[in-house]
Amino acid sequence: MNVSAPTTDAVLATDRRFFDALLAADRANLDVLLAPEFLIVDVAGGDVTARDEFLQFVSDRIVRFTRIDQFPAEAIVRRFGTTAIIVGRTAMEFSLPDGTQITASSRYTHVFVSNDEEWHLVSAQGTAIAGP
């Protein structure tokens, strides 16, 4: 297992870019960050959403993120060759198409793969936790 600081920093920076792109509904940046095989299991209902549908949801603001706080001190990064896994923690607020506002604290698992130039997110899952 390799958890060198430069790799850890690069993976964490990519993770931050993902959350920043969600807040900005930045489809162009998400398009670069997400691998073609990307899947997400959402924290609100456990639904599995593929890349293209997720991009549409975010860019059309069907799901509108209004706040995402990360807790970098709690992030655990593990690397296995060209794969890196982050287990982290967030607190977020977002709204659904029917106007429902959701506040969620979660632990998340993000799986990244590297093509030797940059990291791409291939899988994301959030699990609701108690607390802020």
Mean pLDDT of the chain: 90
Which backbone phi and psi does 81 adopt, to 5 degrees? Answer: 65, -120
Question: Is the pLDDT confidence value at 63 over 70?
Answer: yes
> Half-sphere exposure (CA, 13 Å, Cβ side) for 103?
3
Place of tokens 């993770």: 15
pLDDT by residue (tens digit) across 19-48? Answer: 999 999 999 999 999 999 999 998 878 899
The torsion angle over the Cα atoms of residues 111, 49, 126 and 33, rounded to 10 degrees, is 40
Cβ within 8 Å of residue 13, ≥6 positions away? none
The count of other CB atoms within 10 Å of the CB of residue 102 is: 15
For the chain, give the percent of residues with pLDDT over 90: 68
Specify the pLDDT at position 6. 56
What is the pTM assigned to this prediction?
0.89
Question: Is the pLDDT confidence value at 4 over 70?
Answer: no
Structural domains of the chain, with CATH: 5-128 (3.10.450.50)
